[in-house]
Structure 1
Amino acid sequence: MALSNPFLTELAAAFGIAEEFWDWKGRLTEVTDETVIAILAAMDVDASDPERARAALDAFRQRPWTRLLPPCVVMERDAPRRVQVHLPHGNWVRVAVRLEEGGFRDIPQVPDDEPPRWVDGVLTGQASFELPADLPLGYHRLQATTEAGQSETTLVVSPSFLGFPASMGEKRAWGYASQLYSVASEDSWGVGDLLDLADLATWSATQQFAGFVLVNPLHAAQPQPPLEASPYLPASRRYVNPLYIRPELVPEYAELDDRARGRIAQIKTKLKKELSGEQLICRDQVWTAKIEALRVIYDHGLRPARRMAFNDFLRREGRALTQFATWSALVTRFGGDWREWPSELKRPSSPTVALFAEQHVDQIIFFTWLQWVADNQLRAAQSAAKDAGMRVGIMNDLAVGVGGSSAEAWTYGNLFADRISVGAPPDHFNQTGQDWAQAPWRPDRLDDLSYAPFRSMVAGILRHSGGIRVDHIMGLFRLWWIPDGMA
């Protein structure tokens, strides 16, 4: 049967919640009221009874009228897009686009027959403006100027179609898929690393004429044993797991004195003995040894030119990296699940977190340095792949999500849906369905943030790779949300 009341049905449609789906046996399955209500509750919408559902629907319809501009506007190039502006009825408004590469474009107003309505005691009107189809691709700023002042929002102009890259020529490329942690050479530390990746890419290109090497997600994990074994349940998808760093490849390693280099050799020799005869990958032991060795290199310091390069990296990554490094330092002190930390540490903006950061500056800088080193070694691996003749090079894998205990969940907080995990419905592969224990992003909050977390994540992954594999790519269009207790 359909949902029990029309307000709940309209709310589900407004928030992109499907009322039914076709199961793996070809049967049309309807979603229950309880499931829809729970999913809406995870997005701060109370639809627990018909009256509350009606009030929530009214609030949803009214919301655009409370803003001068939408929180974000997305359009495809080559197709015009209308944007509605809301302001006190009778007031004038001008709209323009401030282009990413510089300059402005005035946007023409077009007829709009929508009558004004009362919003919070103010008679509010709607004006429509048509964005032209020839705006350049990019992230621009849409500005609205009224007699009361100016407001602006993000305007994203995306391509309508991604064709075959010209750099690929006329032929498709083939390549190897590799779980990097398993590709450990004699010289690595018990886990395949970024130098092993460079060597694998070079061999694949020169000996096998491969066009790419696809690796498992290299996303960052928590920096405290026990390390998460699955690369598909990371702590952050924007940053790289320092487990894949080759210590001897860090330029400052060559500058160490005999005592420091001897210390690193001792750490590595001891690790090799511990791993002798092991049939499984021992991430915890490798991480413990490698982080100790990397600390020795870090303590050596940087020459002026390298210091400038490190500072440039810090400026590029900005506050996001500082927050990730702060989370990393907190994990080493309070454990891997921030939800179990003292309450005053559960928000990155809290004064207690700021005080902790002041008291642990060096440790936080160390974690940012690890990301810089990993970034440099990943760039070197991609350069080696391209220099060896690969048309694509390294192809990174993007996991579908992160766990609720992750750095992303701590950093972005209410961007994630509360008491929801992502999975898959029953199918031939798993007839009881799947719960991946991953917290989903809220689409409405992503829109409010102009999709900045998603944009920075993808930019980080593609910075030093020739391609990307998106795990469960349908997740860009739909996700199977599972409310707590309803699996």
Structure 2
Amino acid sequence: MTSPLIEKLVELKGVESNYIDAWGKPAKVNDQSKHKLLKAMGYQVDDPDALEKQVETEFQQMWMSPLNPVQVNRENEELFITVRLPIELVNDNFVLSIICEDGSVFEQTFVPIDGDLINSSILEDIEFQEYLVEIKHALPLGYHNLKLLAEDADEIASMRMIMAPNSCYHPQHLLDGEKVWGLSVQLYCLRSKNNWGIGDFSDLSQLVASAAKNGANFIGLNPIHALYPANPNACSPYGPSSRRWLNFIYIDVTAIDGFHTDSVQALVNDEEFQASLAFVRNVDYVDYEAVTRLKLSALEAIFNYQNNQYLSKNTKQNKAFKQFVAEGGESLQMLAVYDALQESLASQGKPSWGWPVFPNEFADYDSAAVAKFKKANAKRIKFYLFLQWQAALQLEAANEMAASSNMSIGIYRDLAVGVSEGSAEIWGNKDLYCTDASVGAPPDVLGPLGQNWGLPPMDPAKLYQQQYQPIIDLFDSNMKSSGALRIDHVMALLRLWWVVRGDDAKEGGYVYYPVDDLLGILALESQRHQSLVIGEDLGTVPEEIKSKLASNGVYSYRVFFFEQAPDGGFFSPAHYPVQSMSTLTTHDMPTLTGYWHCDDLELGKELGLYPTDEILTTLYASRHDNKQEILNSLHGHNSIPQSMDTNVDHLGMSQELNFGMQTHMAAGSSALLSLQLEDWLQMDKPVNVPGTYMEYPNWKRKLNRELEQIFNDPELQQLAHNLTNSRKKASQKD
């Protein structure tokens, strides 16, 4: 039987006991799972006495803190804060001093007892009282510092005051009813004549310019977060080392000052180097090890040139580099140290896949051994700082290309839901993460056993204590050099499915996050960066988050194949919410060709993803029925020629059907339409097969044509023209 204290903790810590599952039925989280989740948060649930003492200590710490760590307010709301003081002080005069982000200062004098008494408690025979105090000054939007001062001006406590707008940014042209389309692509999939076996930021600039000329208003990317230079096969963009920084592998080496120097040219023109370069360009799957080896060797040579020529002298380049490093702060330094340390350990043959297996002296960023390593390896760390600088410059160049090409949105980036267990981000802030748990998903239609993504979650309480700075930094950094941000698994702002280490995914439970505060911060950063926000709201989505996202200006994510009515028919895209981005397929789904020909089901059978033949038979039958309903809908809306067969048994995927489905979506009501470049090219192989690790080469499959060829194809030019016309007509209907 669960103790009352544990039940109270479950409630206070946001552990959900009941939820609605993917089939719309009530589900419960068992007591054992709730115990384990509290334990993962650091509570000693197996020792009643120790737990009681732990909770009492937290309770006392709260009452001994005169102010909360942080408070998020919306514009035009009345402002109140809570102040906690011993009873003997509540009749004294105090000063609230608010130092605004712009440097302006507001002050007001108050006596606590003049406010509203909202709570009280006895600590060691001393009564503490909590009062609600009104802030009498209207504050501008931004991040402000509020100080509680005694009458003699001594500082007693401080807190962060965040003033947020009511909604995320909406481009005016979308508010005016314009409907636009764009292409989504996994950047590493791009082939081109000049890249080094993987898509790069110069390819992105070229894609932006070519797509814009053909009517596209945005290019959507996979997460381009920093991964692991010393562990290149850990290549999932959704399991990064740091979500604040960039993956250096997307740097176009040839575009950096120093590439054409004699020393660098001697390196890259070496016969063995050229043979490796030809190999990585020609293979159909990205060879991350070979690409990383080639790029690092060339980038190191370029760095040595720039370090001697610019970065050790009083040059404009060095000033810009130093400014970048200074603005990056500890987070950037920590990533560079981590990359250099991991590389060093790997070169010595020591365990190095992530900090959990580092030698004990290197297990913490703040350790003496790490400080010693930093001094001894300053130049190598500077090299990794240099890579981040160059990546940021090249991404910004692609962003500027979008602006000069008159794209109304430009680049839209993708924010992964978390970082992997061995990441630099956790290494540098272990207190924030619950490393004995992982983020995942409860059982649903596509994953009947649930999912475990191997991404340790942030502790909501620690996030609050850190004044939400990690979230602020996350939104700020991912909105740079872009016009929109897609948030993967946006339900994470409300709740995450935690799975304790060693448990099956279905044994997890939901933990709630301060959704209103997080949405306020998201809105503030969105407005500052003028970045539209798209929330990937697929899977088990509670109604409460849908309405919150909509009212906060977050665009919903609508996938055609999931927009199905109870009778099996597919909703017309004309009925999708205007405040949404619609799409046909995603990186976790088969391509249009793969879907129509059931290649994904056949592949799943080969990979052993279906426990029984009965399950597979059911999936084939369901796919057949869905395809017929899709065909009925396409004919019903005259999206494909009437000459095309109406019976799915007689109709294979063709270019005419493929393009018809895309223009069918373009006639819809969503403000944004995103189409996968793979579907333009009528590809059949997926880029990712959920539920697999080594069984399938996830995150490696390249496009089947070079970038230079795609937009010279008259049939694709015509498709783009048709999409643009359909979007214009849909705009006129509003």
Q: TM-score, normalization: structure 2?
A: 0.63
Residues 1:160 and 1:57: Cα distance change in structure 2 (over 3 Å): farther
Aligned partner of 2:485 in structure 1 is 468
Once the two structures are TM-superposed, the CA of residue 333 in structure 1 deviates from its matched residue by 1.6
> Is the counterpart of residue 321 in structure 1 residue 324 in structure 2?
no
Aligned partner of 1:79 in structure 2 is 77
Unaligned 5+ segments in structure 2 are 346-351, 505-734
Residue identity in the other structure for 1:269: Q
> Is the counterpart of residue 411 in structure 1 residue 415 in structure 2?
no
2: CA distance between counterparts of 1:28 and 1:132?
46
Aligned partner of 1:402 in structure 2 is 419
* CA distances 1:348-390 after superposition (whole Å, capped 9, x unpaired): 1111100011100000000000000000000000000111110
Residue identity in the other structure for 1:311: K
* CA distances 1:434-462 after superposition (whole Å, capped 9, x unpaired): 00010111111111111111211221111
> Is the counterpart of residue 25 in structure 1 residue 32 in structure 2?
no
Residue identity in the other structure for 1:227: N
> Is the counterpart of residue 183 in structure 1 residue 190 in structure 2?
yes
2: CA distance between counterparts of 1:383 and 1:149?
46
Indicate which of 121, 128, 150 corresponds to 1:124: 128
Aligned pair count reads: 482
Indicate which of 206, 211, 218 corresponds to 2:217: 211
Structure possessing the higher radius of gyration over alpha carbons: 2
2: CA distance between counterparts of 1:115 and 1:72?
19
Aligned partner of 2:277 in structure 1 is 272
2: CA distance between counterparts of 1:164 and 1:462?
14
Are the aligned partners of 1:66 and 1:119 in contact in 2 as well (CA < 8 Å)?
Answer: no
Residue identity in the other structure for 1:291: L
> Is the counterpart of residue 331 in structure 1 residue 320 in structure 2?
no
- 1:234-313 aligned within 5 A: 234-254=240-260, 256=261, 258-266=262-270, 269-275=274-280, 277-301=282-306, 302-303=309-310, 304-313=315-324
> Is the counterpart of residue 154 in structure 1 residue 160 in structure 2?
yes
Residues 1:280 and 1:247: Cα distance change in structure 2 (over 3 Å): same
Once the two structures are TM-superposed, the CA of residue 139 in structure 1 deviates from its matched residue by 0.4
SS of alignment partner, residue 117 of structure 1: strand
Are the aligned partners of 1:82 and 1:129 in contact in 2 as well (CA < 8 Å)?
Answer: yes
Are the aligned partners of 2:80 and 2:132 in contact in 1 as well (CA < 8 Å)?
Answer: yes
Residue identity in the other structure for 1:182: C
SS of alignment partner, residue 470 of structure 2: helix
Which moves more between the two structures, 330-339 or 189-198? 330-339
Residue identity in the other structure for 2:226: A
Once the two structures are TM-superposed, the CA of residue 141 in structure 1 deviates from its matched residue by 0.4
Residue identity in the other structure for 1:479: L
* CA distances 1:218-261 after superposition (whole Å, capped 9, x unpaired): 0011111343121100111000000000011112324x2x3432
Once the two structures are TM-superposed, the CA of residue 12 in structure 1 deviates from its matched residue by 1.2
SS of alignment partner, residue 381 of structure 1: helix
Are the aligned partners of 2:118 and 2:132 in contact in 1 as well (CA < 8 Å)?
Answer: no
Once the two structures are TM-superposed, the CA of residue 58 in structure 1 deviates from its matched residue by 4.7
Residues 1:191 and 1:78: Cα distance change in structure 2 (over 3 Å): same
Once the two structures are TM-superposed, the CA of residue 173 in structure 1 deviates from its matched residue by 2.6
Percent identity reads: 29
2: CA distance between counterparts of 1:238 and 1:248?
25
Aligned partner of 2:200 in structure 1 is 193
Residue identity in the other structure for 2:135: L
2: CA distance between counterparts of 1:307 and 1:53?
54
Structural RMSD (CA): 2.1
SS of alignment partner, residue 196 of structure 1: helix
Unaligned 5+ segments in structure 1 are none
1: CA distance between counterparts of 2:33 and 2:474?
30
